[in-house]
Structure 1
Amino acid sequence: MAASVSELLREIAELEEPLEELRSLKTVVYSLPLTALRDLAVGLRFGVLFALLDNNDDREQIDTSVAILDRLLQALDPVYLAENFKVELQKGLQHSDDNVKILAMSQIGRIVENANAMPLILGSPELLKEMIRSIGGKKISVAKEAIKSLSKVSQSKAGLDALFMTSMLQDLKDVMAINDVVRYRIYELVVEISSVSPVSLDYCANSGLISQLLAELIGDDVLIRATAIEMVTGLAQSQHGRQYLAQQGTIDRISNMIIGAESDPFSGFYLPNLVKFFGNLAMVDSPQQVCERYPAFIEKVFEMIEGQEPTMIGVGLDTIGILGSCVEGKQVLHKTGSKFQEVLRRLGSISCNASTDLRVRCLDTIASLLSLSNDQQTEDLLGMTESWFHTLHSHPMETFCNMNSQPFPEIHISSLKIFTAIASQPWGQRLMISTPGFVEYIVDRSAEPDKSSKDAKFELVKTLVDSKTTAEIFGNQYYLQLRAYLREGPYFVKAVATVAVDGE
């Protein structure tokens, strides 16, 4: 096999139109495992393949050459790659073809992940400068690969020094000046770097780029403001990032923006991102602390759900679902008392009367609110979820059963999620057993028309079998049927014997 690779490369070097041989070579190199290619790749005539990328308008020939190089270069040790192919990688970064640029950047990304190879790249600043320039290109795929590789560069102090303590910082700022879109690509890189550690955050903060991002929150352009909030949400994913935002007064500022949105006719452009910011903050920090310190957040979420704007309703539903996915979040919602009771009744209405998309999101939110794991089932929490269930509709079990029988796959699957949410809770099991035909439906495999429905039904069965109270509440007969269902798997089909008839 090694001989065939070398032979094909020799043939390719001698041909003016080597496309057929390139296809054969691609087949060969992808049929070999990387372990087999490692010894083979060292010493191969890579120059033949790199030469095919120059002054070539043949789309397929370039793509095939890139695919072969990607496979062969992956087999090389990063140190060997850095020592022998820096010139080719730099030419690749300057190539007019996006796939060639992405190939070069992905290989540089491999090099900088290796502690021994990294200095070889940092010693060639033009490579890094070329990647920074690539962030300003037209193709988002190229920019994303550049951001990814430069993020890897910043994983070490030497890499941080190269990006932020040299003329490359000015290169970053020059690229930012190209347009709004490119500026936010640089912000994306900065947020990604900042999230790694407090040290990396300090580098980014001292560069002035984070201050520039935070200043965008109060700009006149509402669309830019919305994008800035999205970026700041990424910064808040790390504990040191949240501490920095709190110290800068940014979290208080975003809370005040929610309050001020009442009087801003253009707030619809950025308000969803404000709410998402606090929703994410609550989940990575503490729902109770966030909701108590920033009451405008939860009030605005309730207001969105009670309103009539579909986009706002959707964001409100998703946020309540995120908050209610943990016990602390459930308790925070429950403490709002009658306000949340009104929200629950509104959820019941949306689940029946809105567009299909909103109905599905609403049902998923309800499932999230009602879910309790086996070890969370205290008397208080069980009483709370049961009361929530009965607040949704005057006859909730009947209502969700009717949804389950409707010919809309998304609604059907989402209603099954609600049954699964209450299936581990004794009050939910008692409702199921007392609903005529419901348990028979659960064990009836023919009721589910497609794979997604079968999977959703199987989750319901599994939840019931895993519950300690199912056998007692359902009775031994049904419990044994459920265990058999679980054992046989979601797609089991019972064999039907055929009987031969005389004369046929």
Structure 2
Amino acid sequence: MASNFELLRSTVSNLSIDDSNRTRLLSDLKLAVGSLSSAEQKLAIRSLELENIFDCLNSSETEQIVLTCEVLSQLLSALEPSFVFRKYEEALRRALGHPAPRVKQLVLKELQRAADNSSFVEQLSLQEAILLSVVACVCHEDMSVASSAVAVLISLGASPVGLNILYAAPMVQALRAAMAQQDVIRFRVYEVVAEVAGHSDAGLQAAHDSGLLPALTAELNNSDILLQMNALELVTKLALFENGLQYLQQHGIVTALANKVTAINEDPLASLTLPGLIKFFGNVAQLWPKEMSAEYPNVVTALFETFDSPDLVLLGVAMETVGYIGTSVEGKYMLDSLGDMMNKTMKKLGNKITNLPTEWKVRALNTVANLLELKVADQDTLSLAITKSWFEQLASNPMDLVVSVCRQPFTELRLAGLQVLRVLAEQQWGQENINSTPGLIEFLLDRGMESNKICKDSKFEVVKTLAESPTGATTFGNVMLLRLQEFIREGPFYVQAQSEVAIEGAL
């Protein structure tokens, strides 16, 4: 191992005195480092002076820059971020200003490592020059560089120490200067603001006090409809967090968006924002279903009206949103309180499963699965009655509809149908439907009928759910339950051995 260390040291040393052979030396160094174990790398690299390698970035030759980045990535990843930034702060700062995106990415990767580790954030927060350079990278035309810079700032803002530096005066000034350059850069900054605001109450308060969060919500009234849509997408992310949604309510933004939904027909261009508005209120309803129904009934009505829209994109969003609301028991209760509106919607879903193109059939089936999903711990008389009632509204014979989908030649359709069967298998009324459907148990237990691995796994999950259900014995009887349990023990890909009988005189 000593000879390997000496080879590393001599190679690194030669980089500073042998300019003409730098590419070869870097290649040798890359191989030498790669031959060391992780423990050996840590021992060897701490004793190396990496400035000579960083200096190799000062080149116009692409091959040399690429090799230098590869070698530095190997070496730096073996070191603790605290050591890297303590010893190579200036080299990293210069590298972050390098014109090549690959070099910027190298440094941003190290910054991400530091920002993701709370024990190093305090040290990172002292690197103001580097962090200001990260803000400059947010403005970069290379999307990979800009996205990495945004990710570093979001991670930085996730800790109290990092949050303080993110919203310190120099950083906010730099962020505002970046926002003034282009719309696309402004919204990259807004992405940082929205993500950090959702992480904590302190992050939300800092975003508000800086004026950046109010600036984002003001974009919802931008005269440019596309910018409105971008702002709505970020505000929707914020609404995924309870503190974010409370902020939006307190500042009248939820009410303003509800008014946009009800006034959508007054402006033809405004209809472009409807899918985004539906997603937003889907998040509101998922968190606070009762309040959503009580405070914004017009929005709920508008959501269900979109099930009649000829716009398949809008229809897809509406289906997914209703399914998302229905993933919680409280959401199911809210939807059930709509009475006939929900019954009609289930009939429409059944019709769409039959008549829409494959992609939307799958989305309709996924919606049905979300609406009917009811874990054992959430099952009671009322919730079971709701899911059973909804299923019965799908079609005149809903089991025939689902089973026919499970026999389709299209993998994605079969998977969606099997997902519905798995949801049915969790509930006793669903098990009874499965048990009384002619040939369905045999279909599920026949491994030979399915050649696709993913579908085999999915069928196995249906049988597993039936076999492990606390109501399985009551529904199927002990003999069938033992058969289901044996199937589970054998696994999804079991092949029964074929016995051969020798016949005297056979050739």
Count how many residue pairs are aligned between Structure 1 and Structure 2.
Answer: 502
Give the whole-Å Cα distance in 1 for the aligned partners of 2:58 and 2:499.
67
Deviations 1:100-142 (A, max 9, x none): 1011122233345566755554444221211111100111211
| Alignment CA distance shift 1:140-1:391 (3 Å) | same
Confirm or deny: 8 A CA contact 1:101 1:142 kept in the other structure.
yes
Matched, 1:47 2:48: no
* Amino acid in structure 1 at the alignment position of 2:361: R
List gaps (5 residues or longer) in structure 2.
none
Within the candidate set 172, 179, 183, 1:180 is matched to 183
Give the whole-Å Cα distance in 2 for the aligned partners of 1:395 and 1:240.
44
- State the SS of the aligned residue for 1:195: helix
Deviations 1:171-204 (A, max 9, x none): 1111111111110000011112222322222222
How well do the aligned residues superpose, as a CA RMSD in angstroms? 2.4
Q: Which residue of 1 aligns with 2:388?
A: 386
Q: Which residue of 2 aligns with 1:87?
A: 90
* Amino acid in structure 2 at the alignment position of 1:51: D
- State the SS of the aligned residue for 2:456: helix
Give the whole-Å Cα distance in 2 for the aligned partners of 1:167 and 1:441.
66
Give the whole-Å Cα distance in 2 for the aligned partners of 1:9 and 1:15.
17
* Amino acid in structure 1 at the alignment position of 2:154: S
TM norm structure 2 = 0.92
Deviations 1:438-462 (A, max 9, x none): 1111111112111110111111011
* Amino acid in structure 2 at the alignment position of 1:443: L
Q: Which residue of 2 aligns with 1:105?
A: 108
| Alignment CA distance shift 1:313-1:38 (3 Å) | same
Q: Which residue of 2 aligns with 1:403?
A: 405
Deviations 1:197-252 (A, max 9, x none): 22222222111111111111011111110110111112223332222212211111
Q: Which residue of 2 aligns with 1:68?
A: 71
Within the candidate set 450, 453, 457, 2:452 is matched to 450
For 1:252-267, what aligned pairs fall within 5 Å after superposition? 252-267=255-270
* Amino acid in structure 1 at the alignment position of 2:53: L
Confirm or deny: 8 A CA contact 1:8 1:21 kept in the other structure.
no
Deviation at 1:6, TM superposition (A): 4.6
Within the candidate set 210, 213, 218, 1:210 is matched to 213
Deviation at 1:388, TM superposition (A): 1.4
Matched, 1:225 2:228: yes
Of stretches 416-425 and 488-497 in structure 1, the one that deviates more from structure 2 is: 488-497
Q: Which residue of 1 aligns with 2:248?
A: 245
Q: Which residue of 2 aligns with 1:423?
A: 425
- State the SS of the aligned residue for 1:96: coil
Confirm or deny: 8 A CA contact 1:403 1:412 kept in the other structure.
yes
* Amino acid in structure 2 at the alignment position of 1:228: A
Deviation at 1:8, TM superposition (A): 4.6
Deviations 1:292-338 (A, max 9, x none): 22222321221111221101110011011111111111111111111
Confirm or deny: 8 A CA contact 2:265 2:271 kept in the other structure.
no
| Alignment CA distance shift 1:117-1:423 (3 Å) | closer
* Amino acid in structure 2 at the alignment position of 1:150: L
For 1:59-458, what aligned pairs fall within 5 Å after superposition? 59=63, 61-112=64-115, 118=121, 120-283=123-286, 285-458=287-460
Q: Which residue of 2 aligns with 1:477?
A: 479
Confirm or deny: 8 A CA contact 1:81 1:111 kept in the other structure.
no
Deviations 1:150-169 (A, max 9, x none): 23333455544433332332
Q: Which residue of 1 aligns with 2:7?
A: 7
Give the whole-Å Cα distance in 1 for the aligned partners of 2:22 and 2:99.
21
| Alignment CA distance shift 1:238-1:405 (3 Å) | closer
Give the whole-Å Cα distance in 1 for the aligned partners of 2:434 and 2:121.
61
* Amino acid in structure 2 at the alignment position of 1:227: N
* Amino acid in structure 2 at the alignment position of 1:485: F
Give the whole-Å Cα distance in 1 for the aligned partners of 2:254 and 2:217.
11
Q: Which residue of 1 aligns with 2:462?
A: 460
Of stretches 438-447 and 381-390 in structure 1, the one that deviates more from structure 2 is: 381-390
Give the whole-Å Cα distance in 2 for the aligned partners of 1:159 and 1:371.
40
Deviation at 1:498, TM superposition (A): 5.9
Give the whole-Å Cα distance in 2 for the aligned partners of 1:270 and 1:114.
38
| Alignment CA distance shift 1:186-1:445 (3 Å) | same
| Alignment CA distance shift 1:394-1:32 (3 Å) | farther
Deviations 1:87-109 (A, max 9, x none): 11111111112121011122233
Percent of paired sites with the same residue: 33
Matched, 1:16 2:20: yes
* Amino acid in structure 1 at the alignment position of 2:223: D
Confirm or deny: 8 A CA contact 2:220 2:228 kept in the other structure.
yes
Give the whole-Å Cα distance in 1 for the aligned partners of 2:318 and 2:217.
25
Give the whole-Å Cα distance in 1 for the aligned partners of 2:380 and 2:125.
57
Confirm or deny: 8 A CA contact 1:5 1:28 kept in the other structure.
no
TM norm structure 1 = 0.93
